[in-house]
Structure 1
Amino acid sequence: MALYQDQQLKLYNSIAGEKQVFKPIHEGRIGMYVCGPTVYSNVHLGNCRTFISFDMIYRYLTHLGYKVRYVRNITDAGHLTDDADEGEDKISKKARLEKLEPMEVVQQYTLDFHNVMQRFNNFPPSIEPTATGHIVEQIEIIKTILDKGYAYERNGSIYFDVLKFNKDHQYGKLSGRNLEDMITSTRELEAQSEKDNPQDFALWKKASPAHIMRWPSPWGDGFPGWHLECTVMSSKYLGETFDIHGGGMDLKFPHHECEIAQGEAAHGHSPVNYWMHANMLTLEGKKMSKSTGNSILPQELFSGDNDFMEKAFSPSIVRFFMMQAQYRSVLDFSNDAIMAAEKGLSRLREAISLLDHLKVSKTSTVNIKAWSDKCYAAMNDDFNTPILIAELFEGAKIIHSINEENESITAEDLEVFETTIKAFLYDVLGIKATDQTEDAKGTQHMDAAMKLIIDLRATARARKDWETSDKIRDELQGAGIQLKDGAEGTTYTTK
């Protein structure tokens, strides 16, 4: 029996504004779409938090036994500056500034994104489609929306008719915005646009002569609207209605609102059952911003090359830190907070290392089943990772108590205990069992120390101080380090 059959998962549905019991469309199967990056620059830490949050959600759903099709796109065209319908394409602008082909920009920053996600131990999605790979499908859905009367053409561009749509549906139900209020607040912009209404948004934009990225269409050369891409790719791989759509809180309006409108206009029904949004990351209590200098790239955290943290932190520690806030809560990044996270993760790893040394007997002095149930209860409550981590610390406390007080545990309970604590820390939270960054640093420190010792031994040998030379060799050998003298100098190996 799959674990999900014995668990009741509740998640916060943004469109309902409340936690709801999760019921997938198809028993045992889940379709989940998450808005991926626009690949015109290095992925920043705030974006990383969103992708790490949904990786954790993906991991827990998989842990429960669901077969999850996880689709996360790459936006490589159509996303204009200021997230608007006017201006320059973000990727084209970067290509022009760096004198590159747009696809060179796309390749460079897609590789950077994948590298950072891999370092954070994120699972790759089941499918990772690109906007440029689905131009034909986007043109076809625009034809459908035009045929149904929810869009219009202006000078080679196609715009979604929000007012017409709102007569038959409800525009603004995800963000809680009232269309009349939105129109009133933007009335002065009407004369500056070719749109019938400032709230209308582009499905297809006519390419200016200077626009690098362009494709032929029935309405002339152009490029797709940013919002349309996700509607097309999600419905192609997950169906016209699927279970979960995720993204950052900043995408709720207008991006996700427009996705709902496009889906309902094209297919006649809501495209998604559960909308989920991860909250923002701040730095030292302020919004992260490149323009103000209040930002850190992941690599700057890993290397320690930044002005905010006192030292370098491994990807595992950064990820563990992010898990200490519920994904819907604002999380503030600070030196003290991540230092505390480092100590906490070390404490959990230390406790797990003691599991093999616990005394096993026919009776247990602790109730492991009750503790395990609390771990599941935390995750079943809208993926409440801070409560889960508190329970993992309670588990670590139990381990230390059994070890130090000479208490006992049955072999069956020990197996449940070990399986549960490792599954939640490693498989669900996605923390690596060993920290490769710290291992690499340890190797560097070892090399530096051994170089000093080998140099001291070489000096002793040059003075014909064989007693000291032999003592260094023999003492190292006793510690498991073998020195090898060769024509090119002395090297060492460890047992």
Structure 2
Amino acid sequence: MALYNEQELKIYNSISGEKEVFKPINEGNIGMYVCGPTVYSNVHLGNCRTFISFDLVFRYLKHLGYKVRYVRNITDAGHLENDADSGEDRIAKKARLEQIEPMEVVQKYTVDFHNILQKFNNLPPSIEPTATGHIVEQIEIIKEIIEKGYAYVENGSVYFDVLKFNESHDYGKLSGRKLEDMIPNTRELTAQSDKKNPQDFALWKKAEPQHIMRWPSPWSDGFPGWHLECTVMSSKYLGEEFDIHGGGMDLKFPHHECEIAQGEAATGKNPVHYWMHANMLTLNGKKMAKSTGNNILPNEIFTGDNPNLEKGFAPTVARFFMLQAHYRSILDFSNEALLASEKGFNRLMDAYHLLDELKTSEKSSFEVAAWKQKCYDAMNDDFNSPILIAQLFEAVKQINVINEGKAGITASDLEELKKTFHDFIFEVLGLVDTAEAADNDTGTKLAGTVELLIKLRAEARANKDFATSDKIRDQLLELGIQLKDGKEGTSFSLN
């Protein structure tokens, strides 16, 4: 029986403002969409926090036994500066500044994004579609919205008619804004005059002559609106209605509000059942900003090469730090906070390694089954990772007491404790055992070093320098490394 049948998961739904019991549309299957990065620069730490938060969600849903299709897009066109409907495309601007092709920009920063998330031990999504790979589908959905009467064409651009939509729908229900009170979320630029109302937003933009990212459409050579991309990619891979849509808190309005409007206008259905939003990350109590220097890139955490840090930290320590706060709360990043997290992480790992050394007894003084359910209760309460971590530290105390011989644990309870500890630390929280990783790293370096010595020995033999050749073989043997010469070359084994 799948674990999800035994656990009642509640998710805070941004659209209702309440925690709701999670019921997937199709039993045992979950469709989850998360807004991915616009790949025009190195991924910043705030984005990493969002993706780590949804990696936790993905991991826990899988742990419960759900089959999850996790879609996270790559925005590689159409996202204009200041999230506006006018101005320059962020990627095209970077391409112009660096004097390279836009797709070179996309490739460079997509690779960076993947590398950083891999270091944080994020699982890859099931599908990672790109905006430029779905231009045809975007044009088709625009046609549908125009046919339904919720969009209009003006000078080669297509705009969503928010006032018309609001006559029969509730535009603003996610962000809690009333249309009459809304101030346009765009700058006052000349192109704004194409709109009937300032609240309207672009579905398709006619490209200016200098705009290098452009595609043919029935209305003009142009490019899709940023909001439209996510509507198209989520509905293509998850259906017109799906379970969970996530993203950063800053995307709630206008991006996600517009997604809802586009989905409802095109299909008449409520596209998303549970909206989830991860909160922001601050640095030393202030908003991160490159202009003020109050900024840090993920790689700088790992190397320590940043004035805000006194040393480098392992990626898993930084991940552990982020998971010590609930995904919906603001988290302040600082050198002191990372140092404290590192100490906590090491305590957790020490206790995990101690489990293999514990001696069993006839009776248990630690109620493992009750503790295990508390771990599930924490995650079932809107993925409350800080409470889960607190429960893991309760177990750390018990492990140390048992190790000191002041308490006992039965063999069956110890096995249950080991499995639960392992599952929540590595499967759910996605942490990495740094000691094990260091061992693997050392093994890789050792193999490389021996291969180098084998090459040097082969060169010595080719030069008839048998004294050096024998010396390499004999000294490696003294270190417990035996060389074996064969038809296909020389191999080695550890004695």
> What is the rounded CA distance, in whole Å, between the counterparts of 2:240 and 2:140 in structure 1?
15
Mark the CA change 1:408 to 1:192 in structure 2 (over 3 Å): closer, same or farther: closer
Q: CA deviation at 1:362?
A: 3.0
Q: CA deviation at 1:254?
A: 0.3
Mark the CA change 1:191 to 1:262 in structure 2 (over 3 Å): closer, same or farther: closer
> What is the rounded CA distance, in whole Å, between the counterparts of 2:128 and 2:142 in structure 1?
22
> What is the rounded CA distance, in whole Å, between the counterparts of 2:355 and 2:123 in structure 1?
27
CA contact (8 A) 1:189 1:198 kept: no
1:298-309 to 2 correspondence within 5 Å? 298-309=298-309
Q: CA deviation at 1:290?
A: 1.3
1:247-258 to 2 correspondence within 5 Å? 247-258=247-258
Q: CA deviation at 1:183?
A: 5.4
| 1:125-168 deviations in Å (ceiling 9; x for gaps) | 00000000000000000000000000001100000000000001
> What is the rounded CA distance, in whole Å, between the counterparts of 1:361 and 1:181 in structure 2?
68
Mark the CA change 1:334 to 1:436 in structure 2 (over 3 Å): closer, same or farther: farther
Q: Higher mean Cα deviation, 54-63 or 361-370? A: 361-370
SS of 2:159's partner is strand
| 1:235-294 deviations in Å (ceiling 9; x for gaps) | 000000000000000000000000000000000021000000000000000001112211
Q: CA deviation at 1:438?
A: 5.8
> What is the rounded CA distance, in whole Å, between the counterparts of 2:430 and 2:480 in structure 1?
37
Please list every run of 5 or more consecutive structure 1 residues that lacks an aligned counterpart in the other structure: 447-472, 485-492
> What is the rounded CA distance, in whole Å, between the counterparts of 1:191 and 1:74 in structure 2?
27
Match of 1:455 in 2: none
Which amino acid in the other structure matches residue 136 of structure 1?
Answer: V
- How many residue pairs match? The answer is 461
> What is the rounded CA distance, in whole Å, between the counterparts of 2:252 and 2:422 in structure 1?
35
Match of 1:142 in 2: 142
SS of 2:400's partner is helix
Match of 1:339 in 2: 339
Taking structure 2 as the reference length, the TM-score comes to 0.88
CA contact (8 A) 2:83 2:186 kept: no
Kindly indicate whether residue 202 of structure 2 is the aligned counterpart of residue 202 of structure 1. Answer: yes
| 1:439-495 deviations in Å (ceiling 9; x for gaps) | 69989999xxxxxxxxxxxxxxxxxxxxxxxxxx99x99xx95699xxxxxxxx987
CA contact (8 A) 1:283 1:332 kept: yes
1:7-406 to 2 correspondence within 5 Å? 7-182=7-182, 193-406=193-406
> What is the rounded CA distance, in whole Å, between the counterparts of 2:195 and 2:438 in structure 1?
56
> What is the rounded CA distance, in whole Å, between the counterparts of 1:352 and 1:270 in structure 2?
45
> What is the rounded CA distance, in whole Å, between the counterparts of 2:445 and 2:231 in structure 1?
51
CA contact (8 A) 1:122 1:430 kept: yes
SS of 2:398's partner is helix
> What is the rounded CA distance, in whole Å, between the counterparts of 1:332 and 1:187 in structure 2?
31
Q: CA deviation at 1:405?
A: 2.3
> What is the rounded CA distance, in whole Å, between the counterparts of 2:99 and 2:439 in structure 1?
40
> What is the rounded CA distance, in whole Å, between the counterparts of 1:169 and 1:185 in structure 2?
20
Which amino acid in the other structure matches residue 90 of structure 2?
Answer: K
> What is the rounded CA distance, in whole Å, between the counterparts of 2:372 and 2:430 in structure 1?
18
> What is the rounded CA distance, in whole Å, between the counterparts of 1:483 and 1:71 in structure 2?
48
Which amino acid in the other structure matches residue 407 of structure 1?
Answer: A
Match of 1:425 in 2: 425
> What is the rounded CA distance, in whole Å, between the counterparts of 2:424 and 2:201 in structure 1?
43
SS of 1:354's partner is helix
SS of 1:426's partner is helix
Mark the CA change 1:345 to 1:442 in structure 2 (over 3 Å): closer, same or farther: farther
Mark the CA change 1:299 to 1:194 in structure 2 (over 3 Å): closer, same or farther: same
Which amino acid in the other structure matches residue 169 of structure 1?
Answer: H
Q: Higher mean Cα deviation, 86-95 or 185-194? A: 185-194
SS of 1:259's partner is helix
Q: CA deviation at 1:193?
A: 2.3
Q: CA deviation at 1:335?
A: 0.8
Taking structure 1 as the reference length, the TM-score comes to 0.88
Q: CA deviation at 1:408?
A: 2.3
CA contact (8 A) 1:159 1:203 kept: yes
SS of 1:291's partner is helix
> What is the rounded CA distance, in whole Å, between the counterparts of 1:130 and 1:185 in structure 2?
25
